[in-house]
Amino acid sequence: MGFNLAILISGRGSNMLNIIEACNNKTLSSKVKIVISNNKNSSVLTKVEKKGIKTKIILENQINKFEKKLSQTLHEEKINFVCLAGFMRILSKGFLCNWEKKIINIHPSILPAFKGLNAVKKALEKKVKYTGCTIHYVDKGVDTGEIIDQRIVKVLKTDNEERLAKKILKEEHILYIKVIELLEKKYNYGKDR
């Protein structure tokens, strides 16, 4: 068993590829049914297709039109859980109420610190000694949903934005798998089922 997952991305897609890998090597019981991007230049989708996983690009400026197409796709693919991984759009309250506690997001900071864009840069500017990453349920705010789990990264004097982001990303990859595994168990979608 496991979830029928959809992963939503806007960019590079390293977390997405890492989730696919964990499903393929059976670390997770879930199946990635589709990867959806809102970016027409998502070259990473070619890699996904080579793995035999469906992809879809939804380009709609108006959020209600975007969400209508998204809902339709999620329904067609019988999706029961959605992972946002570098997905750069805010979903509306109307859409989210049908997906309460069924959509999670990863953010490169220890929330509630440094919500929104440029979280790594903001952490460096504040000279924090520790930062990290958070996975939270998605609600109508920006990075405000209930926190599920976090991982910590120590900030070194020698860190610049690039180096720190790289260290955080490594932890993101570990955290995302850990959280999906936890939720598979929580929702009784785990291996023991």
Q: Which residues bind ligand GRF (CB under 6 A)?
A: 9, 11-16, 85-86, 106-108, 133, 169, 172
Least Å distance, CB 178 to ligand GRF, is: 15
Q: Which two tokens stand for residue 191?
A: 């291996």
Q: CB of residue 179 vs ligand GRF: minimum separation in angstroms?
A: 13
Nearer to ligand GRF, 66 or 176 (CB): 176
CB of 137 to ligand GRF, least distance (A): 14
Give the closest residue to 130 by CA, choosing from 120, 138, 139.
120
Name the residue nearer to ligand GRF (CB basis): 4 or 15. Answer: 15
Alpha carbon 115 to its chain centroid, in Å, reads 15
Place of tokens 């959020």: 63
Return d(Cα 188, Cα 68) in angstroms, integer. Answer: 29
107 is catalytic: yes
Q: Which is nearer to ligand GRF, 18 or 80 (CB)?
A: 18
- How many contiguous H segments (helices) and E segments (strands) does the chain have? 6, 7
Q: To the nearest whole angstrom, how small is the minimum distance from the Cβ of residue 1 to ligand GRF?
A: 26
Give the 3-state DSSP-derived string for 28-76, with helices as H, strands as E and coil as C.
CCCEEEEEEECCCCCCHHHHHHHCCCEEEECCCCCHHHHHHHHHHHHHH
Nearer of residues 9 and 58 to ligand GRF, judged by Cβ: 9
Six-digit token pair at 98? Answer: 């049908």
d(CA 81, CA 72) in angstroms, rounded, equals 14
Active-site option among 75, 107, 136, 173: 107
Q: How far apart are CB 13 and ligand GRF at their closest, in Å?
A: 5
Closest CB to ligand GRF: residue number: 86
Q: Which is nearer to ligand GRF, 166 or 191 (CB)?
A: 166
Q: By the 8 A CB rule, do 132 and 150 touch?
A: yes
Catalytic positions are: 107
